[in-house]
Amino acid sequence: MRSFRRSFLPPVSDWPALSWKALINGRAAWLVLFASVALTMLGIYSINVATSLEPKGWEALPDAAFKQAIYAGAGLVFCFALTIPNYRLYGAASWVLLALAVCLLVFLLVPFVPASIVRPRNGARGWIDLGPLDLQPSEFAKIAYVMVLSWYLRYRDNHRTFVGLLPPAIITAIPVGLITLQPDLGSATTFVPALFAILVAAGARLKHLAIIVVIAAAAAPAAYPILKPHQKERFVGLFKQLQGDTSADQDINMQSVTAQRLAGAGGMSGVGEEQARTLLHFNALPERHNDMIFAVICNRFGFTGGLLVLGLYGLWITGALITAAGAKEPFGRLVCVGLTAFVATQVFVNVGMNIGLLPIVGITLPYVSHGGSSMLAMWGMTGLIIGIAIRQPISARRRSFEWDDE
Amino acid sequence: MRITELIPSMFHRRLLLLLLAMGVPLAGVVAQLARLTLSDQAGNLAKAEERLVRHQWTPTIRGRILDRKGRVLASDRPSYNVTVSYAVIAGDWPREQASVAAKRAAGHTWWDVTPDERRALVADFLPVYLDHVDRFWTTLADRIGISREDLDQRRDRVISEVERKFDAAVRVRLESAVAEAKSRDDDQTLDVLEPLLAAGASSEYLARIAEAIRTAKARGDSFAEATLKSLEKTCKQPIAEQRGQHTLAARVDDSLAFSLDLISQETVAPSLKLLNADRVSLIDVARVPEVPAMPGLRVSDSGDRAYPYESIEVEIDRVSLPAPLRSDERAVITVDGVACHILGRMRDRVFAEDSGARREFLDRNPDLAEAASGGALSDRGGYRDTDRVGDTGIEGSQEHFLRGLRGVQTRHLDTGEVEVLGAQGGRDVALTLDIMLQARVQATMSKELGLAVVQPWHHQESSTQPLGTVLSGAAVVLDIDTGDILAMVSTPTFTREQARTDPESVFSDQVRMPFLNRAIAKPYPPGSIVKAMVLTEAITRGLHTAEQRIACSGHLLEDKPNILRCWIYKRFQTTHTAQLGHDLQGDEAIMCSCNIFFFTLGARLDTAGITAMYRRFGVGNSFGLGVGVESQGHIGFIEPGTNRSPNDGSDLETPDAIQMGIGQGPIAWTPLHAANAYATIARRGVKYAPRLILGTPRPEPVDLDLSQAAIDLAILGLQKSVTDKLGTGHHVRIDEHDEVTFNAEGVMVWGKTGTADAPDLIIDPDQGGPRRAYLAQEGDHSWFVVLVGNDRPQYAVSVLIEYGGSGGKVSGPICNQIVHALKAEGYLK
């Protein structure tokens, strides 16, 4: 047993220092990079299939796929640029970064900003029009938030008391509140699992967290009346679907039902590319290059394709968590966990709404869905994780987050 | 081993916990993905592929109805109706549209503003759409070529008609709610609902319910309030007419229809000049959706049915008419509604029964079902809401053959390929009728010619039929060799226009009953025309012989001179034996229509024999022509409360058989029965089923095995009846002169008169209500049935005039004109 532990999960102090050399030798950040590249490529291909009836080859990609390829290139550059400075510098600057993100979020809500700068999409004021790129500040707010929270918690132990959970909650409430006002309830809710994941990793008492979850679950129905009508409608639609009631299939459930139909049509290994283009085009799935891209992948590659996508995220998450496990420094550890939580949450919510398990909310599939801000933010996360993986000190200044389990 | 020993680092344990926590949603996601892709794949793929094809019906054409000479009696002609949706007509559309536009233009702001602001936004947009619709009405009126006032009036008519129907529907809903509460013994609900039905203005139900809700609310009666609110919801459900299209211009010409159809598909950006700009900061006008240039407009293919021979001008030579009507000038008579009873009518509404009938028809005709299915698609001949349906007559009975099969255009959206399954027109139906002969026969019985009008020489004794009364009746012309019905007229008839615009005059006139096809639908006592059949039956049964003679004693029972009299005794106090100087043989008895002779045969045949005779000649069976109600006639007494008699003689006694020997008593048949019986005699006892549709399979002819000697004798009697001076059908006495009844040259006639004692027609206008029943018609029905031909009987003609009086005087001249009509149309030389 001891030899197993030694070979597989050696005590942190026994781990060799991570370095470029170590990474090249097969360390975990490779998994993250590999998954990111694979998902991005798959995304560009799927957007191509989803948005054009005729195959036009890689040299004449349809508009959306071409843009996505550009975003991916920009993302890759952004990723490696982020690895250049020591990631701890970001921690030091994290409050400033979050303040910047909050400013942008506030800017979105300023009523007299003209529609040429902040153009509401589907009723949500979430984008700043920058010409070639529509900047979605909430995507970057996620990263800044993870860094702030990780920086804040890195040397503390007061979050192991109930009252000590209050400051992290307040830090969370600021971006969540601003994003909810856009309104983009979907993005806002992804912050909560991230908060919990970071707290769990940072050694908060599970009992405290469990109490909060129970109270929140009990209080959740009370929040229903304050939802906007279109938000309520989606819940009603989901309930109808789960009960097998098809009465809403032509209206509120149209998007969800179409996505499920197309995903299901893929079968075990998917339909051919040409048939996929045809089916997608004439079934007119809304947002198929964007939020509903997972249905497109399942249509094209079937159950196998769906599993492959989930497997790539599994790889990403595993790589990120191993990086966290290997990190000797508390800020890096928590950043890895926080980013993983965001990615995992988005994957589950997006895939869930594509296959009829969750109501339709505006959440993208990381690396795959069309969108510049999302792509840059995601590759930024990849860059951060690589940065953390390659810049571990020889030994930790002190063993972090090690207390006796309650 | 404890986990803390296995993984000493708490942080690593927590990471493992987080990783494991992700397993739960992962399992759910994978399971659902497997369900969709692996177990439901085929269904999902099929549903997704359905979107790749669009099916579109292409119209078909209904089959034609032809007469025996190929004249087109009914055919489809292209025609279009300009219709507008009720929402636009009733003015709901601008409000709906304003609401849509306001919501779109406001975008996400819509959810942020107060309900009052939303209402204000909608109100801002309302003038835009009111103006749009107003301009639409002006344009439409201009295009159809009527004034705006006229168009507004048409709209108002539609609105008031639909509102009337809606009010009626609300009342029915209210009543059924009450009935339902009653069936549940729910007194509490009844107390709330019943006051709403109290007598008063009929159209105020919704207002009453609203008022009752307010009262209940004020009282704090939450039960009443909830009950009434749910009732209000039910009652407010729109009726079909409120969702449908309504015709504002019917049967417009092609070019207008096509141009309107094109415009109806155009959309335009609404003119926002009238938009109230107070709240413009809340909205983005670029998002205001386009609207149809002509909202709610649709041009529908009304597939008008044309009946080119509905109205026919007929020229009649008046030289052959009785002296008072005779003239050298030919009469030109326009007859309307020719064969309307037979061809029938179409209706614009589809009933649920139609689809059921079609399913049954297809079940019986698998080959037609196969043709109609068009592969995977549903019945191409199935009924859709806007279809016209054959309702009565041939249009109704041959509906499934006349009805065509729509074409299907299948467009494969992915390949652009278009598959066309051509529409298949309905089958033509050819009738045995000769429409020109039909028109001539109808003209013969017209008021204009004067034969079917009470005339002085009729010596009409009925108080209800003064001189000049137009008489109702029926005539049938049968081709003896084939059993084809060449003409079948019932007067009065009606036109389709009349049935549409003044249905009361067609369907509610209880005396003249224009809708009734008297030739087949109403049974009449036959009177003396049955004497030929009675003679053949008695001889065939050996109850009498061709040589045997019977004395006419004036009255059958020696001691009772007031009953069972011969007509000659009743009128002239003499007997046929005295008139002829000897007792009567069968042929003479037919010639003079001697009642005593046939009373005697009736007594000999008795109930069983006389019943068998009538049944042999078709009474008790209808012909199944498929042109609506047919009477099978009746033998015996009508059972109270029904319209049926036993038809087997079980309720008859000898005195009844004696009466039935002269066609009186409990016996009745239709003019078609009469013509067919005579045709059977002419075929020497071989009975055919008369037919109206060419090419339909028929039952095999039946040989009645009648004594040929008896037939010879009967035919001799029929000939003498019209050729011997003593024959009842030989002449009509007019103004002290005897005029020969049949005067067509080169034509042989065999015939028999009948003057049948008929039950009085008493009309009770309100069926036992306060209005008094009155005697509408009384007297005798007048019959004349003949066989005619150039050298042998070729055609059988029966004529019946209701309450016309004497058969020889009234129906005789009409029958003569029908013989002339057969000549005029080339059936006789």
Over the stretch B122-181, which tens digit does the pLDDT of each residue have?
Answer: 998 999 999 999 999 999 999 988 999 999 999 999 998 888 888 888 888 888 888 888
Tokens 């980013």 correspond to: A339
Choose between A261 and B278: higher pLDDT. Answer: A261
Mean pLDDT, rounded, of chain A: 85
Chain B residues whose CB is inside 8 A of the A260 CB are 36, 44
Give the closest of B14, B29, B33 to A203, CB-based.
Answer: B14
Q: What contacts B378, CB < 8 A, 6 or more positions away?
A: none
Give the closest of A228, A333, A348 to B111, CB-based.
Answer: A228
Q: B44-62 pLDDT, tens per residue?
A: 898 888 888 887 777 788 9
Chain A residues whose CB is inside 8 A of the B285 CB are none
Is the pLDDT at A20 greater than 50? The verdict is no
In this complex, is the C-beta atom of B285 within 8 Å of any C-beta atom belonging to chain A?
Answer: no
Strand-pair category, B429-430 with B65-66: parallel
CB A54 within 8 A of CB A278: no
Global ipTM: 0.89
Is the pLDDT at B28 greater than 70? The verdict is yes
Is the pLDDT at A115 greater than 80? The verdict is no
In this complex, is the C-beta atom of B287 within 8 Å of any C-beta atom belonging to chain A?
Answer: no
Cα–Cα dist A8/B576, whole Å: 137
Is the pLDDT at A23 greater than 50? The verdict is no
pLDDT at residue A289 in the model: 86
pLDDT at residue A28 in the model: 83
* pLDDT confidence tier of residue B412, bands split at 50, 70 and 90: confident
Q: What contacts A110, CB < 8 A, 6 or more positions away?
A: A118
- B672 burial level (CB within 10 Å; 0-12, 13-18, 19+): buried
pLDDT at residue A123 in the model: 66
* pLDDT confidence tier of residue B631, bands split at 50, 70 and 90: very high
Choose between B681 and A183: higher pLDDT. Answer: B681
Torsion of CA B149, B151, B153, B159, to 10 degrees: -140
Is the pLDDT at B278 greater than 80? The verdict is no
Give the closest of A123, A262, A357 to B48, CB-based.
Answer: A262
Q: What percent of chain B has pLDDT over 90?
A: 56
Give the closest of B9, B10, B29 to A357, CB-based.
Answer: B29
Q: A301-316 pLDDT, tens per residue?
A: 999 999 999 999 999 9
Q: What contacts B98, CB < 8 A, 6 or more positions away?
A: B122, B123, B124, B125, B126, B128, B129
Q: What contacts B194, CB < 8 A, 6 or more positions away?
A: B178
Give the closest of A260, A281, A404 to B36, CB-based.
Answer: A260
* pLDDT confidence tier of residue A15, bands split at 50, 70 and 90: very low
Give the closest of A321, A324, A356 to B32, CB-based.
Answer: A356
Cα–Cα dist B445/B422, whole Å: 47
The angle subtended at Cα B80 by Cα B75 and Cα B84, nearest 5°, is 145
Q: Do A268 and B37 touch (CB under 8 A)?
A: yes
The residue-averaged pLDDT of B447-472 equals 92
Q: What percent of chain B has pLDDT over 70?
A: 98
Is the pLDDT at B645 greater than 90? The verdict is no
State both tokens at B66: 């032809």
CB B234 within 8 A of CB B172: no
Give the closest of B9, B26, B38 to A12, CB-based.
Answer: B9
Give the B window 49-88 contacts with A, CB below 8 Å.
Answer: 49, 51-52
Cα–Cα dist B413/A284, whole Å: 12
CB A228 within 8 A of CB A359: no
- According to DSSP, the residues that pair with B486 across neighbouring strands are none
pLDDT at residue B199 in the model: 60
Q: Do B37 and A263 touch (CB under 8 A)?
A: yes
The residue-averaged pLDDT of B278-282 equals 75
Q: Do B44 and A355 touch (CB under 8 A)?
A: no
In this complex, is the C-beta atom of B280 within 8 Å of any C-beta atom belonging to chain A?
Answer: no
Cα–Cα dist B98/B103, whole Å: 8
Give the closest of B19, B25, B284 to A348, CB-based.
Answer: B25
State both tokens at A134: 């529509």
pLDDT at residue B53 in the model: 84
Q: Do B107 and A120 touch (CB under 8 A)?
A: yes
pLDDT at residue A397 in the model: 53
CB B531 within 8 A of CB B787: no
Q: Do B7 and A9 touch (CB under 8 A)?
A: yes
Choose between B648 and A8: higher pLDDT. Answer: B648
Is the pLDDT at B314 greater than 80? The verdict is yes
Is the pLDDT at B37 greater than 50? The verdict is yes
* pLDDT confidence tier of residue B377, bands split at 50, 70 and 90: low
Considering only the C-alpha atoms of chain B, give the largest distance between any 2 of them, rounded to a whole number of Å: 146
Q: Do B45 and A351 touch (CB under 8 A)?
A: no
Q: What percent of chain A has pLDDT over 70?
A: 87
What stretches of A74-217 adopt beta strand conformation (E)? 128-130, 133-135
CB B728 within 8 A of CB B721: yes
Give the CB-side neighbour count of residue B6, counting CA atoms within 13 A. 5
pLDDT at residue B740 in the model: 95
The residue-averaged pLDDT of A263-287 equals 89
Cα–Cα dist B424/B427, whole Å: 9
Cα–Cα dist B76/A276, whole Å: 47
Helices A137-153/A185-201 angle, 10° precision: 20
Q: A24-45 pLDDT, tens per residue?
A: 444 788 899 999 999 999 999 9
State both tokens at A338: 């926080």
Choose between A96 and B166: higher pLDDT. Answer: A96
Is the pLDDT at A83 greater than 70? The verdict is yes
Give the closest of B4, B40, B108 to A123, CB-based.
Answer: B108
In this complex, is the C-beta atom of B2 within 8 Å of any C-beta atom belonging to chain A?
Answer: no
Q: Which residue of A has its CA nearest to B286?
A: A115
Each as own residue / partner, the long-range contacts of residues B382-386 (CB below 8 Å, 24 or more positions apart, any chain) are B382/B355, B382/B358, B383/B350, B383/B354, B383/B355, B383/B358, B384/B350, B385/B244, B385/B350, B386/B300
Cα–Cα dist B302/B372, whole Å: 22
Chain B residues whose CB is inside 8 A of the A314 CB are 26
Cα–Cα dist B172/B176, whole Å: 6
Is the pLDDT at A194 greater than 80? The verdict is yes
Q: Do A351 and B29 touch (CB under 8 A)?
A: yes
Is the pLDDT at A231 greater than 80? The verdict is no
Interface test with B, best of A351, A354, A403, A406 (most B CBs within 10 A): A351
The residue-averaged pLDDT of A80-95 equals 92
The nearest CA of chain B is from the CA of A242 a distance in Å of 12
SS (H, E, C) B741-771: CCCCCCCEEEEEEEEEECCCEEECCCCCCCC
Chain B residues whose CB is inside 8 A of the A352 CB are 25, 28-29
Q: What contacts B249, CB < 8 A, 6 or more positions away?
A: B81, B82, B144, B146, B154
CB A147 within 8 A of CB A94: yes
The nearest CA of chain A is from the CA of B122 a distance in Å of 18
Is the pLDDT at A398 greater than 60? The verdict is no
Q: Which residue of B has its CA nearest to A231?
A: B111
Chain B residues whose CB is inside 8 A of the A282 CB are 51-52, 413-414
Count of A–B CB contacts within 8 Å?
Answer: 144
Interface test with A, best of B3, B22, B280, B282 (most A CBs within 10 A): B22
pLDDT at residue A8 in the model: 36
pLDDT at residue A172 in the model: 95
Give the closest of B10, B28, B48 to A405, CB-based.
Answer: B10
The nearest CA of chain A is from the CA of B206 a distance in Å of 29
Chain A residues whose CB is inside 8 A of the B36 CB are 260, 263-264, 298, 355-356
Q: Do B11 and A333 touch (CB under 8 A)?
A: yes
Give the DSSP per-residue string, B618-662. Answer: TTT-----SSS-----EESPPPTTSS----SSTT--HHHHHHHTT
Residue type, B792: R
Q: A126-135 pLDDT, tens per residue?
A: 888 777 777 8
In this complex, is the C-beta atom of B265 within 8 Å of any C-beta atom belonging to chain A?
Answer: no
Is the pLDDT at B296 greater than 60? The verdict is yes
Q: Do B51 and A324 touch (CB under 8 A)?
A: no
**Which of the residue ranges A271-280, B89-98, B711-720 has the most confident prediction, judged by mean pLDDT?**
B711-720
In this complex, is the C-beta atom of B376 within 8 Å of any C-beta atom belonging to chain A?
Answer: no
The nearest CA of chain A is from the CA of B238 a distance in Å of 20
Chain B residues whose CB is inside 8 A of the A230 CB are 111
Query: Taking Cα atoms as reference points, which of B759, B758, B819, B754 lies closest to residue B790?
Result: B819
pLDDT at residue A13 in the model: 47
The residue-averaged pLDDT of A341-348 equals 96
Q: What contacts B158, CB < 8 A, 6 or more positions away?
A: B86, B89, B246, B248
Give the closest of B7, B52, B284 to A282, CB-based.
Answer: B52
Q: Do B34 and A303 touch (CB under 8 A)?
A: yes
The nearest CA of chain B is from the CA of A334 a distance in Å of 10
CB A293 within 8 A of CB A45: no
**Which of A31-45, B284-298, B616-630, B676-690 has the least mean pLDDT?**
B284-298
* pLDDT confidence tier of residue B200, bands split at 50, 70 and 90: low
Chain A residues whose CB is inside 8 A of the B11 CB are 201, 203, 325, 333, 400-402
The nearest CA of chain B is from the CA of A265 a distance in Å of 4
pLDDT at residue A105 in the model: 92
In this complex, is the C-beta atom of B762 within 8 Å of any C-beta atom belonging to chain A?
Answer: no
CB B586 within 8 A of CB B714: yes
| CA A311 centroid distance within chain | 15
Is the pLDDT at A21 greater than 50? The verdict is no
Chain B residues whose CB is inside 8 A of the A341 CB are 18
pLDDT at residue A7 in the model: 35
Output the CA–CA distances (angstroms, integers) from residue A190 to A203, A228, A339, A346, B416, in the order listed: 21, 19, 11, 7, 44
Give the closest of A125, A284, A352 to B29, CB-based.
Answer: A352
State both tokens at B51: 């979107």
In this complex, is the C-beta atom of B414 within 8 Å of any C-beta atom belonging to chain A?
Answer: yes
Chain A residues whose CB is inside 8 A of the B10 CB are 203, 401-405
Q: What contacts B103, CB < 8 A, 6 or more positions away?
A: B110
Query: How many residues are recorded in chain A?
Result: 406
